[in-house]
Structure 1
């Protein structure tokens, strides 16, 4: 009996040897390196990360140098072993599945990376909103994804109702931002502010329960009123397919990414060059000192929650032209946002954006390179979770987080 063509192209032996090299030497480096640094009374805070990467990439060759010389660890020690480890993993994949498009077509890989960057920019904007709330209020909003969902629906219905009036579809984006900002401000002012006034005994649990409750209310209200049928709008601008060399980019994703970058530029200008933005930054650093110079931390809390909700809503409005919109899309966005902000580093705005792009690329490559195309989308978020778990194991504070 002849094996199927799919099984004939599998060569697990060499692939398993390569993976064994990466895992075994990476594990040895991650365990032994910090012990050696601690034994010599040296800073071992980065030793696990650097030892793991050194072992996974170059094995005993670099580990012996690391253990005997115990140099001060900085990013330069990571460049070559990181690239080598990635090359080994790719080699293992190519050996195991040589007919995969990610092995045979460089253009296909570049296309997947490009799509991942485009969608990752919006992931970053969503996560920046959650980071802003965490930095100012000190809480994590479990309703963040539902504001994203609400923004998409607000844009969809605004565009649907104004289409005959000759208004540009971008009006849907503005309406989504306004609606989510107002709801966020009202929610924080009426329900979260008592927590900051000392009227709540257990503020942490109070915030979790309230934002969870808001998330359920928004999602199931949308399901009851709008139903589960997917909604989508046409691209906001008629650009046609955008071709760069051999790469073709869908216009809806390019427009959405452009909107995300514009939102990011406006947000950075607001935070750095306006009084309110500087006040928000001051409150995030030291609320008591900010109050001494005349800034009202309570008002900044309300503004921050409103802005965070608005960023999520604007991201949803930008992506309603890309994705099929259903009420439970908010739950997926919440999970992804939590992954992004922890991956980038809690409280780091640049980390949130870079984390979003990393997750976008990883998910796009994971789906595009997965051998079984029929199951690829079902595992989309799993690929991001794998990177998330690896980063947490190697650097618990995230890519740009700081030790407390």
Structure 2
């Protein structure tokens, strides 16, 4: 895919003024002794979208900038890139087919919801314990494997809900036991370097689970049957155009957007569980205790909350969330003992993008990564290359986030968890 000189010229212009804006606006904030967490991002978006005019306006407005201004500049930057791309490659399917773009957007949104849900568990663990769990992908793998064996091997024909509930229960218990046995010493001053210890023991758990499962089931891929078969139905029943049409394995919207049954089931379940988790965190004593420990461990202990119990609950919940994501997706993808590696890497990207320890940030970050992957793969004409590029999009997002806003979209500096004194 060869682009004309105009495309590369516009891209070089945006990069130059974006880098200049990142440096200049950050220095402007530093000179005024202001919080610089947003400065690089604002400067980059202003420079990339409006060049020196945008930089001059933001420079003069400092510090009277708002989230609305930042969002507007970011959207304008994306719009300029999209318009430039359409002129550079007018025959690209993303340019000529609105239906294809809509299909990519909807499917990116759906897979992004699933990504964000899995990342929630990792963010929850970090916000409470201050530990990055490198076994998160293996909990995801365990969830899918358990559903397969429960529904296909041990109890053939059983309701898939039984398999999903069984996978969640096993993952919850596994997380609770591991936290009690291996992570508890960090909280009592028995470990000189707790951060490194947390990394090593979760790495050890990851390798143990992966090779234990491989020894039991072998290296051949497995896959569960679809949980839900759509009835054959269309709306409206007689007239055209057809708004909604369903077959056994898929749903088609407006004759353009096709959604597979496994992904639809997984996304709806993730949304329902997310709402339940939000209710737990904001409306129950246990959830408020978890949030208190994440904000200030010592203050929470003074009020009568047992931080050690909250640590165990957080790690168990985080592992269960990852296992649930795997349990829902084993019907959509082939499952191997190594299947958790890429989802785990993607979860790390999402957590950094959303902000370490931020649950809303993890979910929104997951949706953003899903949309970026869908846009990137859809606009590359070669399908084989497009599939191979998928991990690269996450790495690009991670790099830009670390450069422009290291704390992520909703990041904060922690006072509690393992970030405070245990």
Which category of TM-score, normalised to the shorter sequence, fits these structures?
A: over 0.9
CA distance in 2, matches of 1:322, 1:371: 24
Change (3 A) 1:231 1:207: same
CA distance in 2, matches of 1:23, 1:216: 41
Tell me whether 1:103 sits opposite 2:113 in the alignment.
no
Tell me whether 1:20 sits opposite 2:43 in the alignment.
no
Contact 2:41/2:405, CA 8 A, preserved across alignment: yes
Contact 1:151/1:317, CA 8 A, preserved across alignment: yes
Instruction: Please report the RMSD computed on the Cα atoms of aligned residues, expressed in angstroms.
Output: 1.9
CA distance in 1, matches of 2:8, 2:118: 38
| Cα deviation, residue 76, structure 1 | 2.7
Tell me whether 1:61 sits opposite 2:61 in the alignment.
no
CA distance in 2, matches of 1:41, 1:185: 45
CA distance in 2, matches of 1:252, 1:46: 39
What is the DSSP-based 3-state SS (H/G/I as helix, E as strand, rest coil) of the residue aligned with 1:248? Answer: strand
Aligned to 2:164: 173
| Cα deviation, residue 105, structure 1 | 1.0
Aligned to 2:347: 337
Deviation readout 1:302-345 (Å, 9 max, x if unpaired): 11111111011001001111222111111112111111111100
CA distance in 2, matches of 1:137, 1:43: 27
| Cα deviation, residue 280, structure 1 | 1.6
| Cα deviation, residue 71, structure 1 | 5.0
Tell me whether 1:293 sits opposite 2:303 in the alignment.
yes
Aligned to 2:194: 203
Which residues in structure 2 correspond to 1:4-403 (within 5 Å)?
10-39=2-31, 44-70=36-62, 72-161=64-153, 164=156, 166-239=157-230, 240=248, 241-245=250-254, 246-403=256-413
CA distance in 1, matches of 2:136, 2:61: 48
Contact 1:46/1:73, CA 8 A, preserved across alignment: no
| TM-score normalised per structure 1 | 0.92
How many residue pairs get aligned? The number is 395
Contact 2:37/2:405, CA 8 A, preserved across alignment: no
Contact 2:128/2:294, CA 8 A, preserved across alignment: yes
Q: Which region of structure 1 is more displaced relative to structure 2, 72-81 or 151-160?
A: 72-81
Contact 1:16/1:92, CA 8 A, preserved across alignment: no
Change (3 A) 1:226 1:161: closer
Deviation readout 1:14-59 (Å, 9 max, x if unpaired): 2111112211221222222233444456655433221210111111
Change (3 A) 1:393 1:231: same
CA distance in 2, matches of 1:43, 1:307: 34
Contact 1:18/1:88, CA 8 A, preserved across alignment: no
CA distance in 2, matches of 1:60, 1:299: 54
Consecutive unaligned residues in structure 2, runs of 5 or more? 231-247, 415-422
Aligned to 2:241: none
Change (3 A) 1:90 1:305: same
Q: Which region of structure 1 is more displaced relative to structure 2, 287-296 or 330-339?
A: 287-296
Contact 1:11/1:95, CA 8 A, preserved across alignment: no
Change (3 A) 1:38 1:211: closer
| Cα deviation, residue 93, structure 1 | 2.4
| Cα deviation, residue 194, structure 1 | 1.9
Contact 2:37/2:407, CA 8 A, preserved across alignment: no
| Cα deviation, residue 72, structure 1 | 1.2
CA distance in 1, matches of 2:122, 2:161: 24
Q: Which region of structure 1 is more displaced relative to structure 2, 184-193 or 63-72?
A: 63-72
